A and B are shown apart, each in its own frame.
Chain A
């Protein structure tokens, strides 16, 4: 009977993420998509490593591996990363982490369920992990353990998204602004937005608006060049501050984030705009400090004014709501991890069950062979019946012992029971140890 190799192997994870390192360090360690298959082959050639998956996103660079020597894996994987990325140990070493066995498995499940993400509940990580696993499978870098482990982890991730509210609500100011626009204006694909100012917030909001398929984007700046560069990036139209008022009545969303010390949109101007719009609703988002839009503008009919503080409050509520879902997510993770361990523990007794079956099959074949001359004299139907009867008898005899042994794999007495089986039925004991 052959040894079950999976039992001598341990899951490990080595890497760095948004919590352990700064972006500048992570950027140096990132793997480009096309580099990963080669890197996986190299990892598998490292001592003791039989399976590997590399996860490389803007928030984390992690190598998951199945190793025979987990104690040495941290050093081996660190050396590999240093060599492959051409970065000194001292530069990234203090920002890395290493988990083995249960901790590594729990870490994987939490990552897939986006509990380890910078923004808890973000939806991208599940597909990123799925792609990482797929790439590893295509590079033949996964085997018995990872094929099953990632299957359970991805199921846990999907369940967490479907069964909890962890992914609900906007958790950033710009995202909250876009969500609000949808609640006022409905679908944004035939709407027009104006972004005044060319700061980081403007860029972020433009990105979210673009993702929400906004119909038309205007970028307004004192300097036309700055507006033009944003317009080019996001496919909008650049305007100067002076040109702004001519198109403002056509815009359903106006986002302002300039460094102007005075209000740039006043009550009178807004009254004129809303009159030209025939009272069609308009959303104004003021993310500037100090404010760009006069607060009294909010009193005008069908004008909805939100400041950065209002949106931050919305985002904060959603962050708290997501936090409240962590417990439910952890319980799903626990249930899927339990299923994985049940499968993994079964590997401990699987060789005994297989051996037992083989023993009885051999016995049946031998006995049928011994009676071959008598059996061959029988009609075909009777011969088939004898064969079926022997199969049924073996199945009946082995059903209970196999079931009990399988169930014992998750209890403390599994070794005692499987040893007894080996002795009673005179099986080869190799491979039944844990």
Chain B
């Protein structure tokens, strides 16, 4: 019934409205929780959050079924997928690390991305038709997965730098108690960047396979490709410097933010046309 031709758009509209609404309400709840410095994880906020993530996943699934396969058709669909992965990863992170302080910073970011992506779901730039054919469709999924990891890392890096500034400067302000420990944030940056870089490299390799496909013309090489390569190299360098030169903490976070700036530049550069 839901997947019937008339019911699907209606159901999608309901989900598109409901999901960001719950995300934003829950995020506001976590911010209030953080302001009031309540140390425990409030279950009454997690239940609607998990429900919203479920609805979000259902929405993406319906969308893909509507397309008659598994490709992402527009840039905002990709963003909606990123928002889902971001919210899910953040929830797992808060639970696994038992660090409720992450919630007040990560969930609002995810909620805003979900709000924007779901509001403009069908208005984004249409992805090239080649990306709707397997196996190239996986390229989009993998790259958006990598973007999500880099976003998680960038938010954690900013949080790290704020906390580092407070502690190193011996001026322990209002955020000191409300931010997680430096060690946890550094660990999140390390892991998110590692997973993101691995996905990015896989995505780029798939892109090169596509480059060798019969439809490719050298004139179609785009700035996005160059920026993506630069971003991947930045994240790989971050790891090499971490392991070899002991660049953990502040320096790694700065490199991670630079990497994310490059990722943003790739998004602003538009789509490569093949």
Contact = CB atoms under 8 A, between A and B. Distances in A.
A301 B164 CA distance: 11
A304 B181 contact: no
B44 interface: no
Interface in A259-305: 277-281, 298, 301-302, 304
Given A304-B167, A306-B170, A184 B248 contact: no
Contacts of B247: 279
Interface string A172-187: 0000000010111110
Nearest to B163: A183
A270 to B, nearest CB: 15
B246 interface: yes
B246 A278 contact: yes
A391 interface: no
Contacts of A280: 246, 248
A271 B170 CA distance: 20
A123 interface: no
Nearest to B251: A301
Nearest to A317: B172
Nearest to B40: A162
B172 A314 contact: yes
A384 interface: no
Contact of B248 (A169, A183, A279, A314): A279
A302 B248 contact: yes
A298 B182 CA distance: 17
B177 A169 contact: yes
A184 B170 contact: no
Given A180-B167, A278-B246, A280-B248, A165 B172 contact: no
B221 interface: no
Interface in B167-194: 167-168, 170, 172, 176-177, 181-184
A383 to B, nearest CB: 52
Contact of B167 (A183, A186, A277): A183
Contact of A165 (B37, B163, B176, B246): B37
A186 B181 contact: yes
Contacts of B181: 182-186
A388 interface: no
Most chain B CB within a 10 A radius of its CB, from A279, A310, A317: A279
A168 B37 contact: yes
On chain A, which size bracket covers the interface?
Answer: 20 to 34
| Chief secondary structure at chain B's binding surface | helix
Contacts of A180: 167
B177 A279 contact: no
A165 B182 CA distance: 24
Contacts of B246: 277-280
Interface string A313-353: 01001000000000000000000000000000000000000
Interface in B68-96: none
Contact of B183 (A168, A186, A277): A186
B77 to A, nearest CB: 38
On chain B, which size bracket covers the interface?
Answer: 20 to 34
B177 to A, nearest CB: 7
Contacts of B251: 301
A186 B58 CA distance: 37
Interface string B48-68: 000000000000000000000
A304 B168 contact: yes
Interface string A152-166: 000000000000010
Contact of A186 (B172, B184, B249): B184
Given A281-B182, A304-B168, A183 B176 contact: yes
Nearest to A169: B177
Nearest to A184: B182
A304 B168 CA distance: 6
Interface in B220-270: 245-251
Contacts of A304: 167-168
A281 B183 CA distance: 9
B37 A310 contact: no
A185 B177 CA distance: 14
B13 to A, nearest CB: 41
B72 to A, nearest CB: 37
Contacts of A182: 181
A183 B185 CA distance: 10
Nearest to A302: B249
A281 B172 contact: no
Nearest to B181: A186
A302 B183 CA distance: 12
A279 B183 CA distance: 13
A277 B168 CA distance: 18
Contacts of A314: 172
Contacts of B37: 165, 168
Nearest to B184: A186
Contacts of B176: 183
Given A168-B177, A183-B167, 9 more contacts: A165-B37, A184-B167, A184-B182, A185-B183, A186-B181, A279-B245, A279-B249, A281-B249, A302-B248
Interface of A: 165, 168-169, 180, 182-186, 277-281, 298, 301-302, 304, 306, 310, 314, 317
Closest 7 CB pairs of A and B: A279-B246, A186-B183, A278-B246, A186-B181, A310-B170, A183-B181, A184-B182
30 contacts: A165-B36, A183-B167, A183-B176, A183-B181, A183-B182, A184-B167, A184-B182, A184-B183, A185-B181, A185-B183, A186-B182, A186-B183, A186-B184, A277-B246, A278-B246, A279-B245, A279-B246, A279-B248, A279-B249, A281-B183, A281-B248, A281-B249, A298-B168, A301-B249, A302-B248, A302-B249, A304-B168, A306-B170, A310-B170, A317-B172
Interface of B: 36-37, 163, 167-168, 170, 172, 176-177, 181-184, 245-251
